[in-house]
Every structure is written in structure tokens, then in C-alpha cells.
């Protein structure tokens, strides 16, 4: 019996090494990684530049403390600010921690304005993490069940429903922020349209609310832009990152601009490991490689090839509802729960997962090639077809 706490329904496979988009298990079987650890391994496995950067940094200093200057943190913050137009960065170790910082910022912003019970508007089907505040912000009852009392100060609206937000604005004078994913990941690859994003920005401006974009899953080049909100050109006041930022090394970030800039001072927030030099070296290298190797253009091109490939391979197959996504953040929605496909795909040699019960989720590394895309379609489409034919 394992001494691991039983918190994951783990598949009975363990991986030993990988190369690019391919990964090998203990028995020597090779798999195409179309999940990258859920949007984590941006550069694929064993990327030589990332391996070198991590090894070099490990030979210098792993970490000291945030009570000293950490030049790599300053460099990564400068880089992220230049790419996003944001002003300040707080580094954490994960997505939920980045979102905790965002939630604290929103409350701080509210108290500055004299609002004693600051409230944040959040979305149905949102996912923001599993710490108490972030699971309270998450729009999935399964994530929350058994952990009540939830953290107060959240009010929920349907995703992309601007009228619902306007209605909350009229009745609730404690609102200080809106927090959302511009492309919902766990919620089933749902994309907020450009018009909704612009109208939301307008409401936030009119009311003095912070617009908080959780880019933990869709950020860092995955959708063909550095950040999901850049498709509509709507600048958030707070943005959170994690997952793909370190391409496998744990790092998160909470960035501020506009009304959120300058809210925190010394003593307001902190993290022992947040922004340690090893993680920052991984983050900087990830951003450098995305840029130098044109990985955002690649994400767009290869993502389009995957969508087209599945559209052709699954054309006319009853039970396929929609094939959608941006760049290399893709979903194939079926008309029935399809969790069993994860195991069937594994047998066929592909790593995928299923979210929102009915959506096959594909989050390949950004180095995925057109050949990888073709391999993905030929390995996975028959699995989906067979499942739907049952």
C-alpha cells in the first residue's frame, strides 16, 4: 500500500525520460505528450537550453532569501512587464498562490476605498486553485464540497454574461474586482469573446474595479499570444501566471498595473521560495526560447493544423459536438461523459485528459511540430471514434 495521500485518481504509469513532445515510461513504451502536464512543459521534455540554464544556476546559488536582492527575479519581472504592459510582479511558486495574492490585492484595494466587505465577481465553471480562498473563487461545487465554510466575499455570475455583471454592479456596492480566465481551462476550453472582454474592461474602468485575469493555464504563449487577453487587447489590472512560466520548474507570478499598482508595500505579502533564482532562470529561459524559436507562431499554426486534422478525421461522426480552442489550448467536446478516453488514449500512446466531463483537452508543448500534430490526430481520432461508436 502506498503511503501517498489518496488525492489523485492516478493512472498506473510512471515516466522516466522524455525528448521534445515524446515521453517514455518505465517499460520503455513511448507516448506523444499532448498534455504537457496540463500546460506545464512549455518547451517539451529535455530542452537543451532549459537543462543548461537550470544546471548552471544550480551550480551558482539555489536560493538565499527574499530579504536580499535577487537579480534574476528583477530580470524576469522586467521581461514580463515588457511583454505584458504590466508594472510590478510578485513571484510565488504556483497558480493558486498567485491567485491568493490577486485576491488579497483586490481586498486591499477595497479597503483603501473604504469598502469594509470587499467582494469579487467570479465566474461559473472558473478554476482558480485549491487553497481555501481560490477554491471559494472556483466555480465548481465538486472542488468546494466538504470544505465549507468557504471564504466569503465572492459573488458568482455565468461566464461571459455582461448583463449579469451589470446587474450585480447595480445591487452590490461592495464589488471591488472581477476575476476570470479569458479562456477557461478546467471549465472546458471556453473562450470569452472580444466584445465581452472590452465591455468588461469598460465597466471596471467606470466603477474603479480591478480586472483580474487568471492566465495560469492560457498564458505564456500557449494561445498564440503571450497572454490570453492580448487577443482582444484588453489590459488587466492584475494578471496571474504559473504552470508554463517555468516549463516544469515551479514558479508563479502576480502582476499589477493601473489601480492595482503600488498597493502592496513591505510586510503586506511574501513567500519563502517565491521567485528563487532556479525558478527565475527557468522562467527567463522559457520566455527567451518562446521568442527566439517563434513558438507563439508555431502554437497558432500547429494548433490550427490539429483542429483541422480532427475536424476532418471526425467529420460526420455522431457525438462530436465541437472542436475549439486557440493556439495549443484545444478542446474536443463530445455529447457524453468521456473520462474513459484518458486511459484508452494512454493505451494508444497519447497523453491527454478530459475536463468538464465531456471535453477532451489538448495542451501540447509549444514545440509541437506539424508531424507531431499529424501523429496526434492519427493516434487519437480512432480512439474517439471507437468510443463514440459503442
* Binding site, annotated residues for N(2)-acetyl-L-ornithine: 130, 271
Least distance (Å) from ligand PMP to the CB of residue 129?
4
Q: Which of 96, 123, 137, 367 binds ligand PMP (CB under 6 A)?
A: 96
The footprint of ligand PMP on residues 241-260 (CB under 6 A) is: 242
CB-wise, 133 or 259, nearer to ligand PMP?
Answer: 133
Least distance (Å) from ligand PMP to the CB of residue 97?
7
Ramachandran quadrant class, 46 (left: phi over 0; alpha: psi -120 to 50; beta: rest): left
Q: Which of 47, 107, 109, 128 binds ligand PMP (CB under 6 A)?
A: 128
Contact flag: residue 129 with ligand PMP (CB under 6 A): yes
Cα gap 356→39, rounded to integer Å: 17
- The runs of H, that is alpha helices, within the chain are 36-39, 48-58, 71-84, 95-112, 132-137, 141-144, 162-171, 194-207, 277-292, 295-313, 341-348, 370-389
Contact flag: residue 228 with ligand PMP (CB under 6 A): no
End-to-end Cα separation, the chain, in angstroms:
35
Closest among 274, 220, 262, 218 to 237, alpha carbons compared: 262
CB-wise, 305 or 366, nearer to ligand PMP?
Answer: 366
Cα gap 126→135, rounded to integer Å: 10
Cell numbers found for residue 45? 521534455
Q: Mask: binding to ligand PMP, 327-366, rule CB under 6 A, as x and -?
A: ----------------------------------------
Contact flag: residue 185 with ligand PMP (CB under 6 A): yes
Of the ranges 213-221, 279-287, 312-320, 338-346, which one interacts with ligand PMP (CB under 6 A)?
A: 213-221
Phi, psi (rounded to 5 degrees) for 235: -80, 120
CA of 50: how far to CAs of 38, 46, 47, 57, 292, in Å? 19, 8, 5, 11, 13
CB-wise, 214 or 301, nearer to ligand PMP?
Answer: 214
Residues that bind ligand PMP (CB under 6 A): 38, 94-96, 99, 127-129, 181, 185-186, 214, 216-217, 242
Amino acid at each position: 500500500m502506498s503511503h501517498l495521500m489518496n488525492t489523485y485518481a492516478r493512472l498506473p504509469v510512471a515516466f522516466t525520460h522524455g525528448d521534445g513532445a515524446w515521453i517514455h515510461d518505465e517499460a520503455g513504451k513511448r507516448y506523444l505528450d499532448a498534455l504537457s502536464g496540463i500546460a506545464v512543459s512549455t518547451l517539451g521534455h529535455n530542452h537543451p537550453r532549459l537543462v543548461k540554464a537550470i544546471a548552471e544556476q544550480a551550480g551558482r546559488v539555489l536560493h538565499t532569501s527574499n530579504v536580499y536582492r535577487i537579480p534574476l527575479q528583477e530580470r524576469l519581472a522586467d521581461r514580463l512587464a515588457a511583454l505584458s504592459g504590466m508594472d510590478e510582479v510578485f513571484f510565488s511558486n504556483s497558480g493558486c498562490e498567485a491567485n491568493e495574492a490577486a485576491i488579497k490585492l483586490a481586498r486591499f484595494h477595497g479597503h483603501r476605498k473604504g469598502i469594509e466587505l470587499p467582494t469579487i465577481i467570479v465566474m461559473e465553471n472558473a478554476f482558480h486553485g485549491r487553497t481555501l480562498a481560490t477554491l471559494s473563487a472556483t466555480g465548481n461545487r465538486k472542488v468546494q464540497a466538504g470544505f465549507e465554510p468557504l471564504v466569503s466575499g465572492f459573488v458568482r455570475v455565468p461566464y461571459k454574461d455582461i448583463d449579469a455583471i451589470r446587474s450585480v454592479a447595480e445591487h452590490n456596492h461592495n464589488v471591488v474586482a472581477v476575476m476570470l480566465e479569458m479562456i477557461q481551462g478546467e471549465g472546458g476550453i471556453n473562450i470569452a469573446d472580444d466584445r465581452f472582454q472590452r465591455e468588461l474592461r469598460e465597466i471596471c474602468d467606470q466603477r474603479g474595479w480591478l480586472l483580474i485575469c487568471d492566465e495560469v493555464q492560457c498564458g505564456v504563449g500557449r494561445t498564440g499570444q503571450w497572454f490570453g487577453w492580448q487577443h482582444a487587447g484588453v489590459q488587466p489590472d492584475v494578471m496571474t501566471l504559473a504552470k508554463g512560466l517555468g516549463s516544469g520548474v515551479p514558479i508563479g507570478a502576480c502582476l499589477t498595473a493601473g489601480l492595482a499598482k503600488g498597493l502592496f508595500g513591505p510586510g503586506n505579502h511574501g513567500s519563502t521560495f517565491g521567485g528563487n533564482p532556479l525558478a527565475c532562470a527557468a522562467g527567463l529561459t522559457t520566455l527567451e526560447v518562446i521568442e527566439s524559436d517563434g513558438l507563439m507562431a508555431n502554437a497558432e499554426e500547429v494548433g490550427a493544423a490539429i483542429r483541422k486534422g480532427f475536424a476532418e478525421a471526425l467529420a460526420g461522426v455522431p457525438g462530436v459536438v465541437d472542436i475549439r480552442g486557440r493556439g495549443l489550448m484545444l478542446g474536443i467536446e463530445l455529447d457524453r461523459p468521456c473520462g474513459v478516453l484518458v486511459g484508452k488514449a494512454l493505451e494508444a500512446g497519447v497523453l491527454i485528459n478530459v475536463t468538464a466531463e465531456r471535453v477532451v483537452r489538448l495542451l501540447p508543448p509549444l514545440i509541437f511540430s506539424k508531424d507531431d500534430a499529424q501523429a496526434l490526430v492519427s493516434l487519437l481520432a480512432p480512439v474517439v471514434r471507437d468510443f463514440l461508436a459503442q
